[in-house]
Each structure stands twice: as C-alpha cells, then as structure tokens.
Amino acid sequence: MDRSTDQPMRIRKRDQATYRMGAVRRTAANFTKLALSALLGIGLLVTGSAPAYADAIWDRWKAADAAVSSGNPAAAVPHWEFLADHYVSAGDWESAALFSGKLNQYFDGIGDYEKAIAYYERENEYWLKDGKDWGAVDLQRAEQIRTTVEAYISTADTEALRQRALPVSGKLSKFEPEYGMYIGMYTERDPKMLNYYDRSESFYGKKHALYLAYTQVGKPFPKQYAQRAKQAGAGLQIAWEPMNGLDAVTDEVVRAWAREAKAAGIPIFLRYASEMNGNWVPWHGDPDTYIRNFRMVHDIMEQEAPNVAMVWSPGDVPMYSMDAYYPGDDYVDWVGVSLYSEPYENGDPKQGNMQATSPVERLDYLYRTYAERKPLMISETAVSHYANIPQESFTEYGTLNLQRLYGIMPYKYPRLKAITYFNVNLEMKESKNNYLLRDNDAMYSLYRKLIEPPFYLTNIENAAKPPKPSGQVPLTAGVAIYKRALITPFVKIPDIYIGKIEYAVNGRLVQTQTSPPYGIELKAGDVPEGSVLELGIYNHAGKKAATRSFPITSGISVSIDGKDVDFEQPPVIREGNTLAPVRAIFEAMGAKVDWNAAAKTATATKGGTTVSIAIGSGEAYKNGKPVKLEMPAQLVNGATLVPARFVGEAFGGVVGWDGETRTVTIRMDGKSAAAFPGEAVKVTAASAVSTLTPSASERSANGAPSRTAVWFGWFKDQLGRLADLWGRLV
C-alpha cells in the first residue's frame, strides 16, 4: 500500500472526542446538575422578596418531589413550569436550566416531542446565560426528536442557483465555485484504489475534484500524492498537522514547504491544524497562539504558493468553543468541518446510540456563523453502514444518511461547496466502523448515483460551475416545473427510520417509496397550475408520523428543433392562451430584433421577412400585411409576449404541442412537430388537467383516460378549490 506520508490521526482523535464528547460532557453535566439540584433547596429558602414567597417556592419544590416519589411525575409538571418561569424572571439561569431539564426529560419520555424540544432549547439558552455550554447535548437531543419535512426541486435556473450560492459580499474566495459542489475522497485505505486517483472514474463513475492526504509539519511535502493528483486532473486537500506543537512551526519550515507546494502545480486546499477546538490535539488550548500561528502560515502561503487556499476546519464538537480559534476573514479562504455519521459511538452499543442524529443539523451552527462570508467544505466525513464490534449491519441507516449528506445538504446549505468522503473500513481499530462504500452494494450504487449530476464538480478552478445548469432549490410557492423536475424530500421523524413516503398531487396518490433514495420526478403536464403536492410519512409500524403539503405549479417551455429556449421572462397563460416572448424565440431562430420604445413596437427581421408587433394590438404585420392574433400582444416584465403559434410560424416554423411536458415545439428544419390539442397553442381546462394515472373506472376501453374522466377530474379539482375557498371565508 502506498504510504508516502503519515497515516491520518483523524479517526484516532475523533474516537476520544467527537461523539464520545457528547456522552462525556452529558455525564459530567448531569452529575453537576444533580449536585446543583441537591443544593437548590437551600437557594429556594433565600430566593424571593419575602419569607412568605420563599415558602411558596419551597412548597412548589416539595410538591413536585412528592409527585415524582409517588410515581406520578405528570403532577409535578405544573410545579416545574412555575419554578422554571420564576427563576427566569429572577435571572437565576442555573435554576431555570435545571427545572427546564426536568421538563424536557418528562415530555421526551411520554412522546410529547414538541414540548420536549421547547424545553431542551430553553435549557440550552439558560446554561449559556449562566456561562456554561452544557446545553449543547440538549440541542442535539432536540434535533433527534424534531419532525422535519422539507422538499427541494431541481431547476435549470442558473441565476437562482448562483444567487443562493454567493457570499453576501458577492466576491468569491480562492477556488470557490459560483455554484455546485466539489466532490473529494480519501482513498488510501480503499484496497482497490489506494492512491491511484486516476482509477476513480472506473470505480465510482466519475473523477473527483480533490483527494485527501495527511502529513505532519516538519515532514517533506507529499510529492507523490501531488503527482498522482496532477495525473488525474485533480487537486489535493492536505491535512497538515503540527504534532510537535505550534512552537515548532517556524517561518523557515513553512516557507520551504510552501515552495514545494507551489512547484506541485495543482490546486491545494491546506487544512492546517484542524479540529483545534478539541482537546485531543496538541495545538488545542491557547486560541491566541493558534491564531497568530495560523496567520503566519497564511501569510507565507500567500507570498510563496498562490495555488494554496487556506482552510480553517474545526470539528463539529465541541460546538461553542470553536469560534475562539477563528483567525479572521482575512486569513481564511474556506471554512471546513469534520463530521461523521455512525449508529453507535465508536461502533460500540455500550457507548451510546447515535442513530437518531443525522448529518444535516450538525452543520447548522457553523453555517449560520460563517457561510455569509466564506464557502464551506465538509473536510472529512463518512457514513457507517456496519458496526464492527456487534457485527451489525446498518444498510438502511447508511443509505438514509448518505442521501442526506450528498442529496440534501448541498441544496439546504448552498454555501457548502465541497465534501470529501473518508472511504475506509476501520475494522476493529480506531472508530470500529465500516465506512468503505464498496463493502456495501446499496451504499456503493447510491454514492455513484448521487454524484452523477453535473452539479457535483470534478475540476477545481476559480468561479467553477457545472457544465450545464444543475441543482435544486427549496420547493416553495412560485417555483415552477418546466418540462420535468426531480423533487427530493428531506424527512426526519422521532422514530428515525421511515417505513414509506407517499406522494400525492391534488389528492391523488402518484407514488410510494419504502427505501432510499427518496424522491419523485414529475412532468409539467402532471401538475396543473395551482396544484398541491402532499407528502405522507409513515414509520416502520405503518403509523403516519408526519404530513406536509407544498404548493406546486408548472410552466410552459419552448423548444426549437429540439433545443430548449432560455427565457428571462417565461411564457405565460392569459385567458387560456399561451403567450411567448418574441425576442428570445426570434433570436433563437436567427432573427434580429429591434424595439421602438416610443411606438411600443418590436420588429424582427430574418432573410427577406420582416415581422412587427405593437403592444396592445390584436394584429401583427408580416412584410406589411396584417395577421390577426388570437390575443393582443402584451408587455410582461419588460418583455413583449405574443400568442405562441404566431411566434413559431412567423418565420416559417412548424408549431406543435407536447402535453406531457407542456412544451411548445417549433421545427425550423422541415420536420413535423407534435400535434396541437386544437387549432391554436391554447391551454384549456381539459388540457390543463393533470395527466396522472386514472383509476380503472376512469379509463376508456383502450386504457387511456376517457374524455369524461378528464373533465370529471378537472371538475373535482375545481370543487375542491371552491370548498377550500369557502372554508377560508367562513
């Protein structure tokens, strides 16, 4: 096996801290809380403005204790609530946190998760006000039991994708993509790939943008890794670790290393002295020294190695201690994080069950804090599909969270622009989890599928972007399906595992899924304007755990000779007519378009044909002869829109209509176009109705929806909308 640098410390360090840190801190915090609770009675006797009021507080305390002792904790709840509120008003945050803790434990135990979440969040808030970070574990538990149902929809709207992915300043960092996400991998302990990076495409279906290597300060620059990355057309992420302490990181040492980095001739993400917020690394404990040292490394790299981007990369825990180590915006190009998903802490059921924790929410704090200014990367991550100590397979856990990692997080967090997967089976050492994708067929095939879209970038460059529009945005009102779109749900329920997800459009079930990857493709013709998509979420027991409805609609597309036309102002429907923007279509046909603002007239010329159209006129002119329009030309958002049939035929095109994708087809090459549902490109109630599969009773003899069924379906939709409107009015 190729080992030209030291093996990574990552898992060894994280064994002692990352998930275990939660358990250790929880145990320590709970022990201290118990001690504080024992002393709380003394505080109760001296709290308040008068002895009588102190007695009332003490009475509440005793009543709550008596209820718990008698096996009736529900009777203690009103007293705990009173006491928590009292200590908040008194500014006694320690006592307020303790009583909030009693309440969240009670509500969590009886399955009243909404109230439990509220008190977990309050407990965290009060501990912070008391100067302690003990509430981090409360936030973790709150996220474990929070029901989440979100949805994301694919789009080819490049500008929408760009705007979501830009920093507030609008200025991109070194090697930062405009939008999209670099894919990376640590391969050294993948027995088939090792560090032969040019094998990636044959194994994983796609080359990766960067590969991860580890080395220590004071050791030679990892030339062999760099050479192999260059051969594969990739960059490196280098974890550079000062194992002899920050004092050993001198100007001379850094400068010599920087010159070697420049000579490598590839993009390098330098993850220097990472996970500094954890006490398992020798560079932890002195934020001021760390910051001075990081800045020195940055300055030398800036002088000597312009191909190096500096990555400041804490661990995802301890959460609240990382900010003290931030070197400042001027010294950081990217903000990274290490986070891993595994069913048991260190693969050991005795150390704690982590199945309820997903990778998604664990990025939230870092994202809220830094994403407005810096691009984020998950510097190293993996999802376990097998716990080696109990020899227990977790394929469902693995696929569920692998999809969340790659199929949800880049869209939920659009400033997340790189993920590096730690592709290792750690067997019975270190974290004792198997993250190796090839060891599980479902994980392996899912990973290949997830990174297949062009959104996942394979080449590092400044302002990189996908070779063609690709990405997803939150499914909200106003986001329309053009032709077809993939809708991906992010679902999290307290039961952890999902039995099935049902997808219904306008009350009609269209698909059911029982395993990851979750998601549904809808065609524009399936979704009349003003439709509703409803997700029904069930647990393994078959009980509905959650439901959520999303407004969903579709738009009209136009293709010329099979190529889609891009619009700033897409076609619209007015009084059943499809109106198309003349400039975009005429220019796509090769015509020259001029606009006379005074006359509000668009004129297009191609060859010997001239067409002019005035806003508000029911006639257009072709070579001076009037042509009646089905509807007057209109100005919409600064664009001239005209009935689509006229636009398509003005320069000799053959116009048709694809109802499945709601696409106006124009053929300029003499080939026939799809037939229209009528004499004009017109959307009527019948043609707008969903084409989703009807029931057997709604089919004609040949299996197609009958005309009566189509009209009946449309009529049912209208009745439903009227009933909804009436319900709102009354």
pLDDT in tens, 611-652: 999 999 999 999 999 999 999 999 998 899 999 889 999 999
**Chain position carrying tokens 């102002």:** 569
pLDDT score at 715: 43
Q: Which residue has the tokens 């080819």?
A: 156
Chain mean pLDDT for the chain: 87
* 698 among known catalytic residues: no
Of 94, 380, 430, 630, which is the active-site residue? 380
DSSP states along 126-183: HHHHTT--TTHHHHHHHHHH--EEEEEEE---HHHHHHHHS-TT----TT--SSSEEE
Give the span between the Cα atoms of 633 and 92, in whole angstroms.
Answer: 69
In Å, how far are 4, 234, 239 from 228, measured between CA atoms? 12, 9, 17
- Banded model confidence at residue 695, pLDDT cuts 50, 70, 90: very low
Name which residue leads in pLDDT, 581 or 718: 581
Assign 10 a pLDDT band (cuts: 50, 70, 90): very low
pLDDT category, 253, cuts 50, 70, 90? very high
Considering 33-47, 321-335, 659-673, the range whose residues carry the highest mean pLDDT is: 321-335
| Residue whose token pair is 């003490």 | 58
Give residue 528's pLDDT: 87
Question: What pLDDT, in 10s, does the model give residues 562-601?
Answer: 899 988 888 888 887 888 999 999 999 999 999 999 999 9
Work out the average pLDDT over 359-380. 97
Q: Which of 275, 361, 430, 630 is catalytic?
A: 275
pLDDT digits (tens, 9 = 90+) for 136-146: 889 989 999 99
pLDDT of residue 53: 63
Question: Residue 700 pLDDT more than 50?
Answer: no
Q: Which domains does the chain have, with CATH numbers?
A: 67-146 (1.25.40), 155-457 (3.20.20.80), 492-554 (no CATH), 557-667 (3.30.457.10)
Is-catalytic flag, 502?
A: no
Tokens 């010599």 belong to residue: 256
The secondary element (H helix, E strand) that includes residue 479 is none
The CA-based diameter of the chain, rounded to the nearest angstrom, is 100
pLDDT value of position 35:
53
Token readout for 351 is 């150390």
Tokens linked to 531: 């439709």
Task: Kindly state the percentage of the chain with pLDDT values over 70.
Answer: 84
Mean pLDDT of 272-297: 97
Q: Are 554 and 481 in contact (CB under 8 A)?
A: yes
